[in-house]
Amino acid sequence: MSTAPSNKFLPSPKTVAILGCPFSGGQSKLGVDKGPIHLVEAGLIDQIEGLGWRVVFDGHHQFEDIPAHPLAPSPPPNDISSNDSAVATLDASLAKLKNPLFVARVCESVADAVQAHAESGQLPVTLGGDHSLAMGTISGTLRAYDQACVIWIDAHADINTIESTDSGNIHGMPLSFLLGLNPPAPNPDSILAKYEWVSRLPSERLVYIGLRDIEKGEKDILKKHNIKAFSMHEVDRYGIGKVVEMALDHVNPQRDRPIHLSFDVDALDPSVAPSTGTPVRGGLTFREGHYICEAIHETGLLVALDLMEVNPALADAESVRQTVTVGCSLVRSALGETLL
């Protein structure tokens, strides 16, 4: 059953734009690019239409025509022309990044698409794909709604900088680019210059729910920039209802800002959503995840939704079916499906 509190930002008829983004370049595990295809094939479009939404879906985005030139390796330290140690450190940091040009170009393309749909009065629902795509989805939202806030549901903070990342996987870094935490590009040819299109999200307009696997460098970043985060400790202590209320009080105290909800399925416990790239025990229950989506819908402020990191290649067929089914159910809850 669905309920439809009026959305303060969307015109009638209320319209969802599905952006299928079969992209895996922000991390190294194969299969996450198949997530959007499985979600759509599971009947998600019909399910959304059943809630009273008009749905626009023009097929999955194709990224084959976007050049994926690899980053040329940095010269060895003895060959660096500048004696400036900061330059040498920056070069070494950039050399760790995996597929940085490809990720930048794909995410910029996604940003353009999200912006176009949002400015047309539609609610973009982006199906990933890995979570590096959020650089694009949130940038697109901020171009259309410059006062938007972000509620980030995830087991991981995804806020590593180019200096703090160990893996170089950019799906663990999107928020560092969105918050402007990386150093400026030293020149127009730098890899960092390819990310200058990324919109800036003020740190006070970001809140996390569900964190439980945070690297030390990320903990330092969260503390340094006073970024609000509700880990699973707070969920256990206060209950999910109170946590969502406190999260909204932080990023949207007057309940007047547009909300971008970015949901990584690994926020859920692996017993609920096993088919994902970086599962971590002790996560959100089925109902806790759905409550978050239901509560955000009830605000009437949702303007964009991401569902990320469904990976059909990492589990048996039944686990894949379970994860895809949960993913579809989360989207429906964020768009108005209720228990009664």
154 is in an annotated binding site: yes
The one catalytic residue among 266, 288, 306, 337? 266
C-alpha angle 141-215-164 in degrees, rounded to nearest 5? 75
236 is in an annotated binding site: no
The one catalytic residue among 158, 218, 234, 288? 158
Question: Is 95 in contact with 73 (CB distance < 8 Å)?
Answer: yes
Active site residue 130: no
266 is in an annotated binding site: yes
302 to 67, 178, 265, 287: CA distances (angstroms): 33, 19, 19, 20
The one catalytic residue among 156, 250, 260, 290? 156
306 is in an annotated binding site: no
156 is in an annotated binding site: yes
- Return d(Cα 126, Cα 305) in angstroms, integer: 6
The one catalytic residue among 60, 117, 131, 290? 131
Neighbouring CB atoms inside 10 A of 233's CB total 11
The one catalytic residue among 117, 171, 250, 260? 171
Active site residue 189: no
Give me the DSSP letters along 275-303: -BSS--SS-B-HHHHHHHHHHHHHHT-EE
Active site residue 158: yes
Active site residue 79: no
101 to 130, 215, 277: CA distances (angstroms): 16, 25, 22
Cα 40–chain centre separation: 18
Report DSSP state, residue 310.
B
Active site residue 269: no
The one catalytic residue among 91, 108, 154, 294? 154
Active site residue 215: no
Cα 282–chain centre separation: 21
Active site residue 171: yes
158 is in an annotated binding site: yes
User: Phi/psi class of residue 329: alpha, beta or left (left: φ > 0; alpha: ψ in -120 to 50)?
Assistant: alpha
Active site residue 112: no
Q: Considering just the CA atoms, what is the radius of gyration of the chain in Å?
A: 19
Query: Mind telling me the catalytic residues?
Result: 131, 154, 156, 158, 171, 264, 266, 309
Residues making up the binding site for Mn(2+): 131, 154, 156, 158, 264, 266
Residues making up the binding site: 131, 154, 156, 158, 264, 266
